[in-house]
Amino acid sequence: MADSIIVRVTHRYNVPAEKVFDAWMTPAQAGRFLFATRTGNILHCEIDPQIGGHFTVTDRRPDADGYESFFDAQHRGTYVEISRPHRLVFDYSVEPFFDQTTRVTIDVVPMGPHISELVLTHDLGDNDDARANEARTRQGWTSMLQQLDKVLTARSWGLGFKTPGNA
């Protein structure tokens, strides 16, 4: 029996663990980083944040043929464990690329009052697809976690009004 291919990536954020965790469960935020690619366009992000609940993120991507054609990738998951703000586990699949479901575990570790580290572990299985896609999967998750950092730390530029807490 072959060993399962495990992809593990980490990223440190300058925000509390709750904020990192909640971004994965809030469609408005998740749609800005989850499965977003440089050339794709997130069309739809639906999240039912409960154990047994599902998520679907539809990503329209250019076709590899180089012409002006596109296809929709359906990223789907079923939540297996939700323990806010520390752990999120879901079974994951991507249509039309893979017909196999894999397991993703996200651990958010508080490192201080406003610092947290996310450890994402993706068990790809032990088949030829897993071996062929290990590097691409690692790069994809790394890019998503970097994009999440931008989403979490984006500053909204207001009109200069001061609130009592930031005067």
Dump pLDDT digits (tens) for 104-125. 999 999 999 899 999 999 999 9
What is the per-residue pLDDT for 150?
94
**Domain 5-62+69-152 belongs to what architecture?**
2-Layer Sandwich (3.30)
What is the per-residue pLDDT for 159?
44
The span from the CA of 83 to the CA of 70, in Å, is 37
What is the per-residue pLDDT for 124?
96
Condensed to tens digits (0 to 9), the pLDDT of residues 46-98 reads 999 999 999 999 988 777 666 667 778 899 999 999 999 999 999 999 986 66
With bands split at pLDDT 50, 70 and 90, how would you rate the model's confidence at 163?
Answer: very low
What is the per-residue pLDDT for 157?
47
Nearest one of 64, 108, 103 to 85, comparing CA atoms? 108
What is the per-residue pLDDT for 160?
43
Secondary structure (3-state) at 91: strand
Locate 15 and state its tokens.
Answer: 């925000």
The span from the CA of 117 to the CA of 152, in Å, is 13
Average pLDDT, the chain: 88
Q: Domain coordinates of the chain in residue numbers?
A: 5-62+69-152
What is the per-residue pLDDT for 167?
43
What is the per-residue pLDDT for 98?
67
Q: Kind of pairing, strands 54-62 and 115-125?
A: unpaired
What is the per-residue pLDDT for 67?
63
